[in-house]
Structure 1
């Protein structure tokens, strides 16, 4: 089944900080504190595994506000989103503004002749692989205190906060996150620029597939 809850937090960035690399815990995060009328939210952005061979991948995109419709960035606080195209939910593999290239919009891999055409006319936006430090350094220049931020992911069970701010599909069958796979429920961090556009940081783990079925499970290679 997919994530129990999914949505977007809109607010003002107060500050950010990193995990201490020597802290106990398996995953390394960059933490955001986001102010809303309801209070200050804590957002944990996964940027790598500390104690396994799982690597992190990321990309930074600049998006126009129209891409976010019907999400209303001016409506501060956390808002639930339906896991469906057109709801404002994000899907790294299906959303036209986020997919690596147009071919990723197909539920199944397109035939070879069509993929060849897509490769010629669609500019690829490859994932960058690196360490938690490199991923953190890619994210942190976007995090300007006082700017509006949108954080897509799953709300905490208790207290004000958002986690699972990364790809939430494509985990392999033997993964502990297999049951969380689902489409139109990916996380992301977006920061509003002075020109009104948004810088978006997307991240995923190296074990997650880049093609999935309608349940968010990996397609056969």
Structure 2
């Protein structure tokens, strides 16, 4: 079975904080913030960068996001919605849907130095603080924590190589998959929506039906 995937619709109840996670060849950074889901506080971890100059984050931060899927998101109940195994919107696939149409070009993140003044950290932190202070609805797409309440993998979840290659029938780690891409959206008030999406330099498109890089695939440009 695929890893548990879906989205939460909630209000932010604790301000975003930048946290680091040490990996074998890099330090990855996430903005963590709390939301309330069915009376419980959940932790949300959104990828914002890395110290690895060879595998920087690419991102889009759009404040004029438009898409037909927004109507169904607005009408969704607050809380968590499972989308595991769904192969159509509102599940997100950057390659197999038009979700990112008209969202502009991908930007390169800064090399992370542990501060919150680099991009996209600074801009995303301002957006999240605005959402908290104005009690705006926030929608986070990603994978649910395997332990505890929360959501992570708020980035593209396909196209990686090496240890992340998806073997059919093997779902023991955060492998590639289709229709499981992550995103963060904020309803700023009709008709304004903000969108944040991210991917890494060493993720490749197009992908095959398992979410692995297909022959001739290239890094996102």
In the superposition, the TM-score normalised over structure 1's length comes to 0.77
Aligned residues: 193
- Partners of 1:147 and 1:192 within 8 A in 2: yes
Determine the structure 2 residue equivalent to 1:10: 9
Determine the structure 2 residue equivalent to 1:39: 40
Determine the structure 2 residue equivalent to 1:81: 83
Deviation of 1:60 after TM superposition, in Å, equals 1.8
Closer/same/farther in 2, CA of residues 127 and 212 from structure 1, 3 Å limit: same
Deviation of 1:84 after TM superposition, in Å, equals 3.5
- Partners of 2:22 and 2:28 within 8 A in 1: no
Residues in 2 aligned to 1:124 and 1:160: alpha-carbon distance in whole angstroms: 31
> What's the secondary structure of 2:4's corresponding residue?
coil
Q: How do 1:123-202 residues align onto structure 2 when only pairs under 5 Å count?
A: 125-131=104-110, 132=112, 133-143=118-128, 144=130, 145=132, 146-172=135-161, 174=162, 176-179=163-166, 180-202=175-197
Deviation of 1:196 after TM superposition, in Å, equals 4.4
> What's the secondary structure of 1:220's corresponding residue?
strand
Q: How do 1:111-122 residues align onto structure 2 when only pairs under 5 Å count?
A: none
Deviation of 1:210 after TM superposition, in Å, equals 2.8
User: Which protein is richer in strand relative to its size?
Assistant: 2
Q: Which runs of 5+ in 1 are unaligned?
A: 100-122
Residues in 2 aligned to 1:9 and 1:41: alpha-carbon distance in whole angstroms: 10
Per-residue CA distance 1:34-92 (angstroms, 9 max, x = gap)? 12333111111112223573211000233346324644554111111144443410111
- CA RMSD, aligned part only? 2.4
- Partners of 1:30 and 1:45 within 8 A in 2: yes
Closer/same/farther in 2, CA of residues 68 and 83 from structure 1, 3 Å limit: farther
- Partners of 2:93 and 2:181 within 8 A in 1: yes
Residues in 1 aligned to 2:22 and 2:176: alpha-carbon distance in whole angstroms: 26
Residues in 2 aligned to 1:153 and 1:124: alpha-carbon distance in whole angstroms: 19
Closer/same/farther in 2, CA of residues 43 and 73 from structure 1, 3 Å limit: farther
In the superposition, the TM-score normalised over structure 2's length comes to 0.77
User: Which protein is richer in helix relative to its size?
Assistant: 1
